[in-house]
Amino acid sequence: MTSKTPDSPDTTDNTPERPEVKTVLLIEDLHTSFFTRDGEVKAVNGINLTLKENSILGIVGESGSGKSVTALSTLRLVPYPGKITHGTVSFEGVNLLEVDNESLRKIRGKDIAIIFQEPTTALNPLINIGTHMEEVLQAHSSMTKVEARERAVELLTEFELPSPSQILKRHPFELSGGQAQRVMIAMAMAWNPKVLIADEITSNLDVTLQADVLDRLKRLQAERHSAIVLITHDMGVIAQVCEDVAVMYAGSIVEYTDTPHLFQRPHHPYTWALLQSIPRLDQPTRTLHPIHGSSPNLIDLPDQCPYLPRCPKASNECRLSPKPALREVEPGHYVACYNVIEHDD
């Protein structure tokens, strides 16, 4: 077993053969760094992910774990002084890290769309919503300005924004957080993308708006069959909508499995600690346990497991061995740890 995130396990002779599920996005050994005056910040360190069609893959981890940089790297949107130093991002057999800018521009926004964190700041405050949407629509078609405006009204209506013609005249700062988020989703789904990357799209919304946005994501996936990468720090969001989940820590994936297994049988000490630090409605009297310590300095990452200084299960093997690679500890469940948490069957 290498560090590559696996496909679904093979079926046995006694199990009916499953229809093959197409891979729409394959990330292999992705490394992204920011070259600062203080040194090289290794934000993403060897990420491997497989996104299947018509599925929702969650990427979860605390702030600074490399989730958003992974998303930006996928479409070569890493801001200066960041640089993708190694790896491949394959979409329909094409490595997006090697294609020319014009070819990549045709893919961005049409085949692969991204909803950025903080919608009100992701939108240009000097341009009204109508101009934003017209640019997205005209960039991938021969629509006239009038046709693009009509289509924009249809999209905003579809996403249940009141008075869409008036919304198009407003600037981003004139919208509420929920309205801005719906506008971003409408823009992202304008061309029915094969892949949608949603980066922390519920982080600044109240519970009601959060539930509405997540419900829309699930409906979009069901109706338009888009494959979705949902990036979040909220384990509750992961539980609600994701089929598979990758847990990130210090730029690396430390655990990967389907969502029910992650919550029922977490094997990595970091995943277990995340679950112990969140309240549960079915256990209202349970004591919450914070994760002590802090994340490692990404400029000076250790050769050993990056979670080592905070890990309650650390052993001499952890201290003397190099950083562990993902390995299969049970069917379809992969963990990067020498001393995994065992569960009684």
**Residue 139 is part of which domain span?**
118-190
In a domain, 74, yes or no: yes
| pTM over 0.85, yes/no | yes
Assess whether 145 and 242 both reside in one domain: no
In a domain, 7, yes or no: no
CA distances from 179 to 67, 97, 174, 310, 337 (A): 25, 33, 10, 40, 43
Last residue of a domain, one of 131, 166, 190: 190
Assess whether 263 and 137 both reside in one domain: no
Question: What pLDDT score was predicted for residue 20?
Answer: 66
Assess whether 310 and 252 both reside in one domain: yes
Last residue of a domain, one of 145, 162, 190: 190
Assess whether 248 and 143 both reside in one domain: no
Assess whether 220 and 323 both reside in one domain: yes
Assess whether 142 and 62 both reside in one domain: no
Question: What pLDDT score was predicted for residue 197?
Answer: 94
**Prior bond to 81 cis, omega within 30?**
yes
Question: What pLDDT score was predicted for residue 283?
Answer: 66
In a domain, 6, yes or no: no
Assess whether 95 and 229 both reside in one domain: yes
Assess whether 148 and 127 both reside in one domain: yes
In a domain, 12, yes or no: no
CATH number of the domain that 330 lies in?
Answer: 3.40.50.300
Which of 42, 45, 113, 26 is CA-nearest to residue 82? Answer: 42
In a domain, 322, yes or no: yes
How many structural domains are present in the chain?
2
In a domain, 236, yes or no: yes
In a domain, 207, yes or no: yes
Task: Please work out, in degrees rounded to the nearest 5, the angle formed at the alpha carbon of residue 149 by the alpha carbons of 146 and 151.
Answer: 110
CA distances from 130 to 39, 81, 133, 148, 172 (A): 42, 32, 5, 9, 10
Question: What pLDDT score was predicted for residue 280?
Answer: 67
Question: What pLDDT score was predicted for residue 12?
Answer: 46
Give the span between the Cα atoms of 278 and 235, in whole angstroms: 8
Assess whether 228 and 322 both reside in one domain: yes
In a domain, 76, yes or no: yes
Assess whether 177 and 236 both reside in one domain: no
Question: What pLDDT score was predicted for residue 208?
Answer: 78
Question: What pLDDT score was predicted for residue 277?
Answer: 78
Assess whether 323 and 174 both reside in one domain: no
Walking along the chain (345 residues) 10 residues at a time, the average pLDDT comes out as 46 48 91 96 94 92 91 94 96 92 90 86 89 91 91 89 92 87 87 90 77 82 87 89 94 95 94 83 70 88 92 91 93 93 78
Last residue of a domain, one of 151, 168, 190: 190
Assess whether 234 and 130 both reside in one domain: no
